[in-house]
Amino acid sequence: MGIKSKIQNPKSKMESRPRREDFLPKEWEIIRKHRTPRQVQGFLRALPYNWEKKGETLRTFRGVVQHWSAHCLEAALTAATILEQHGYPPLLLDLESKDRLDHVLFLFRRRGLYGTVARSRDFGLHGRKPVFRTLRHLVMSYDLRTLERCDWRLSPGNVWSVERALIRMPHQKLRTSDGRHRRILRQFRAFKQSYPDRPVDFYRNQHRWM
Domain ranges of the chain: 2-175
pLDDT in tens, 4-37: 433 223 233 455 789 999 999 999 999 999 999 9
Contacts of 37 by beta carbon, 8 Å cutoff, 6+ apart:
79, 83, 88, 106, 108, 110, 115, 117, 127, 130, 210
By percentage, how much of the chain surpasses pLDDT 70? 65
3-state percent breakdown (helix, strand, coil) of the chain, nearest 5: 35, 15, 45
pLDDT recorded at residue 194: 81
pLDDT band at 157 (very low <50, low <70, confident <90, very high): confident
Provide mean pLDDT across the span 74-102: 86
| Residues, the chain | 210
What CA–CA distances, in Å, run from 61 to 52, 152, 165, 198? 16, 8, 18, 29
